[in-house]
Amino acid sequence: MNARPCFLFRQWGLFLLITLMMACQNPTVEAPKNLIPEDQMARILTEIHLAEARVTKLNRMAQDSNTLIYKHLEKKIFRKFQVDTAAYSKSYSYYASNPEQFAAIYKQVKAELEKRKKPADSSRTTDSGRTNRLPARLKNLKK
């Protein structure tokens, strides 16, 4: 009678072991037919992140408004690059399942965002320099 529960325990143990081994495997995603090239994907992702930042900066109280604005900007981006939502989603999933490629794409995105940030930062420093000189001019006017 003791042999029966031991046998069931072994079966369940074997079943759990096989299930865990299968769950730990990385699924391979095949490249879709309409795969967006890496350089174009990087440009699209750059524009998408800029659109997200614009919507966040608007600071709308209603989340629905933010979503509508973002969806509108996203459609404009897809039209600009002549890509549909399905191709973007499939390409994104494919690149996300390949960490090396995804990291290379985001390296390009980061470089482009940094490049775009530099002119914006330099215009801020010139503006702040003007405001720093403004009080000195006002002091001279009082004399």
Residue 63: burial class (beta carbons within 10 Å; 0-12, 13-18, 19+): exposed
Average pLDDT of span 10-30:
70
Is pTM, for the whole model, over 0.95?
no
Q: 24 in a domain, yes or no?
A: no
Q: 106 in a domain, yes or no?
A: yes
Q: 124 in a domain, yes or no?
A: no
Q: How many domains, the chain?
A: 1
* Confidence check: pLDDT of 112 > 70: yes
Side chain identity, residue 59:
N
Q: 73 in a domain, yes or no?
A: yes
Q: 60 in a domain, yes or no?
A: yes
Q: Per-residue confidence at 102, pLDDT binned at 50, 70, 90?
A: very high
State the residue range of the domain holding 63: 34-117
Give the H or E element holding residue 106: helix 99-142
Q: 138 in a domain, yes or no?
A: no
Q: Are 109 and 44 in contact (CB under 8 A)?
A: no
Q: Are 46 and 113 in contact (CB under 8 A)?
A: yes
Q: 12 in a domain, yes or no?
A: no
Q: 141 in a domain, yes or no?
A: no
